[in-house]
Amino acid sequence: MSVPLFDTASPLAPLRDELRDAILRVVDSGAFVLGPEVQAFEHELASFVGASEAVGVGNGTDALTIALRAMGVGPGDDVVVPSFTFYASAEAIPPTGARPVFCDVDPETFCVTPETVRAALTAKSKAVIVVHLFGNVAPVAEIEALGVPVLEDAAQALGSNGPEGRPGSIGTAATFSFFPSKNLGGFGDGGAITTSDPELADRARRLRFHGSRDKITFEEVGYNSRLDAIQAAVLRVQLPHLDRWSDGRRAAADHYRRAGLGELVSLPRASPGAEPAWHLYVVRTPEPESLAAALQAQGIGARCYYRVATHQQPAMREFAPDRQLPGTELAARTNLAIPISPVLDEEQAHEVVDAARSHLAARPLAVGTFRN
Ligand SMILES: Cc1ncc(COP(=O)(O)O)c(C=O)c1O
């Protein structure tokens, strides 16, 4: 039995007719970009996360750039961002004119901490991008208490719950991606910004449409980055199922635990009080590549993420810090994502754990959980 790294098709199969009807509704309406379908989705998304406003945009990367600009970030500013994340978290900063300043992560949660952020703050820090990586929930309120506004990069954390609320409602603003493999995935690119600051939302709405409110006066240089109505319609069909799917992701993590995975590798640690909707289930092991190859040979999806951390990417060289980022380097060197989905069942979890166990039994030095 093969176990894919992601399974986006199975949860959608029972919704096939509803999805088709939603797409045809948009086709019949003739309103393809923004419009009532997007407005309805924005309303539903804002209420799902617990924010008062949502602004649909073209993708999660544009969402970050537009949100930063709506927060007032511009030339001469610094923005703190973790290095252990998808590259787009940092890539979104230079287009605002600001400079990314890389901070470290806790390799057990894969998220930034108040200490790692504090170490990267400068006199010019205008914002901190806090990434809820792999669906875990970073301590946003503690970080915002350092005195710099937080933009949550919640691209991987829609459906997670944190002690301070849902990602999307905790910081000054938050961003989401609806890339097809995400917890809530469209049938193409899409993204959104959420906030409870109406002025920030208003500026983001203007920026997503060329810096104009009315197509007549263009008040500032903006972007053409709008959510398509077909994506909004497809996302509206799925959103009511997201809590159940997130429960399924958490149940899959429990299946792994009960099958004994924690005796073989280090399991990801949920942040205190968090209920992550694991977008990726990322364990740590001293030799992740050999375990990945062994799992793949059995038809089991496995992949090391962000092996070259963002601050070491060629395009980010000019922003690379002088300091070492030991948590980032450890996470980059030892992580391995194994299959997770809303429908991963006990039998599949056992299959993954048994395959890992038989590979690691032959390599005793590679077995084991480790603390840092
Ligand atoms: C943490 C993180 N930030 C930002 C993005 C960018 O989103 P998009 O691919 O929709 O531009 C992604 C998506 O892959 C992501 O995982």
pLDDT digits (tens, 9 = 90+) for 263-288: 999 999 999 999 999 999 999 999 99
Provide the sign of the torsion angle of the four alpha carbons 106, 110, 114, 120, taken in this order: positive
pLDDT category at 362 given cuts 50, 70, 90 is confident
If one counts every other C-beta atom within 10 angstroms of the C-beta of residue 257, the result is 13
CB 300 within 8 A of CB 2: yes
- On the CB side of 80, CA atoms within 13 Å amount to 28
Ligand 1 atom with the smallest distance to the CA of 190 is 10
Ligand 1 atom with the smallest distance to the CA of 178 is 10
Q: Which of 34, 85, 42, 94 is nearest to 65 (CA)?
A: 94
Could you give the dihedral angle defined by the CA atoms of residues 226, 231, 232 and 234, in that order, rounded to the nearest 10 degrees?
A: 180
48: pLDDT strictly greater than 80:
yes
How close is the Cα of 25 to the center of ligand 1, in Å?
Answer: 28
What's the pLDDT score for residue 372? 40
88 Cβ below 6 A of ligand 1: yes
Q: How far is residue 356's CA from residue 143's CA, in Å, rounded to a whole number?
A: 37
295: pLDDT strictly greater than 70:
yes
Phi and psi at residue 281, in whole multiples of 5°? -105, 105
Q: Which residue CA neighbors atom 12 of ligand 1 most closely?
A: 155
What's the pLDDT score for residue 368? 58
60 Cβ below 6 A of ligand 1: yes
CB 324 within 8 A of CB 105: no
What's the pLDDT score for residue 62? 98
If one counts every other C-beta atom within 10 angstroms of the C-beta of residue 287, the result is 17
306 Cβ below 6 A of ligand 1: no
- Work out the angle between the directed axes of helices 60-70 and 198-208 (0-180°, nearest 10): 120
177 Cβ below 6 A of ligand 1: yes
89 Cβ below 6 A of ligand 1: yes
Q: Any idea which residue has 């905790």 for tokens?
A: 170
Ligand 1 atom with the smallest distance to the CA of 61 is 11
176 Cβ below 6 A of ligand 1: no
Q: Which residue CA neighbors atom 14 of ligand 1 most closely?
A: 86
367: pLDDT strictly greater than 70:
no
Q: Which of 115, 83, 77 is nearest to 102 (CA)?
A: 83
pLDDT category at 321 given cuts 50, 70, 90 is confident
Per-residue pLDDT tens digits for 187-223? 999 999 999 999 999 999 999 999 999 999 999 999 9
The residue-averaged pLDDT of 120-137 equals 98
The residue-averaged pLDDT of 56-65 equals 98
Q: Is 311 helix (H, G, I), strand (E, B) or coil?
A: helix
Per-residue pLDDT tens digits for 149-172? 999 999 999 999 999 999 999 999
pLDDT category at 61 given cuts 50, 70, 90 is very high
- On the CB side of 292, CA atoms within 13 Å amount to 17
The residue-averaged pLDDT of 20-48 equals 97
191 Cβ below 6 A of ligand 1: yes
Name residues whose C-beta falls within 8 Å of residue 18's C-beta, 6 or more positions apart in sequence: 237
The residues pairing with 162 across neighbouring beta strands, listed in sequence order, are 165
59 Cβ below 6 A of ligand 1: yes
Per-chain mean pLDDT for the chain: 96
pLDDT category at 369 given cuts 50, 70, 90 is low
Ligand 1 atom with the smallest distance to the CA of 191 is 10
What's the pLDDT score for residue 365? 61
Name residues whose C-beta falls within 8 Å of residue 106's C-beta, 6 or more positions apart in sequence: 112, 113, 116, 327
Alpha helical stretches, state H, the chain: 9-12, 16-29, 35-49, 60-70, 88-91, 114-118, 140-144, 198-208, 229-238, 242-258, 288-297, 326-334, 346-361
pLDDT category at 371 given cuts 50, 70, 90 is very low
135 Cβ below 6 A of ligand 1: no
Residue from 79, 85, 179, 182 whose mutation best tests the ligand 1 pocket (most atoms within 8 A of CB): 179
Residue 221, both tokens: 């240089």
How close is the Cα of 84 to the center of ligand 1, in Å?
Answer: 13
The residue-averaged pLDDT of 121-140 equals 98
What's the pLDDT score for residue 370? 54
Ligand 1 atom with the smallest distance to the CA of 132 is 1
Q: Any idea which residue has 């170490």 for tokens?
A: 119
